[in-house]
Amino acid sequence: MTLKKYEELGQFDHYIRLIDEIGLVDEFEDKWGESFDEFELEVSESIVIEETLDAAEDTYVLIINERPPAYRVLLLE
């Protein structure tokens, strides 16, 4: 049996609420080239969150707790 890291397979749809609450839906759609509502997750959600934050004008830090999966986003001013 081979264990995989959460980043390689984690798909729990937490990214939907997080991106919506932070107000980065437009940045998400620009980065991924798809509608936020119709997006189908093909990579781990931590990658989706991280790349969406990188596309934002503000500077964010993403902190990931893998077990259980939890995300904290800090806005640097």
Phi-psi region of 29 (alpha: psi -120 to 50; beta: other; left: phi over 0): alpha
- Tell me, what DSSP letter sits at residue 50? H
Which positions ≥6 away from 41 have C-beta within 8 Å?
11, 13, 15, 48
- Whether the pTM exceeds 0.85: the reply is no
Alpha-carbon distance 35 to 66, whole Å?
27
pLDDT tens readout for residues 33-61: 999 999 988 888 888 999 999 999 999 88
- Tell me, what DSSP letter sits at residue 23? T
Q: Which domain holds residue 69?
A: 6-76
Asked whether the predicted pLDDT for residue 9 surpasses 50, the reply is no
Per-residue model confidence (pLDDT) at position 68 = 66
How confident is residue 65, by pLDDT bands cut at 50, 70 and 90? confident
Number of domains in the chain: 1
Average pLDDT across the chain, whole number: 81
Q: Is residue 63 part of a domain?
A: yes
Per-residue model confidence (pLDDT) at position 17 = 87
Q: Is residue 1 part of a domain?
A: no
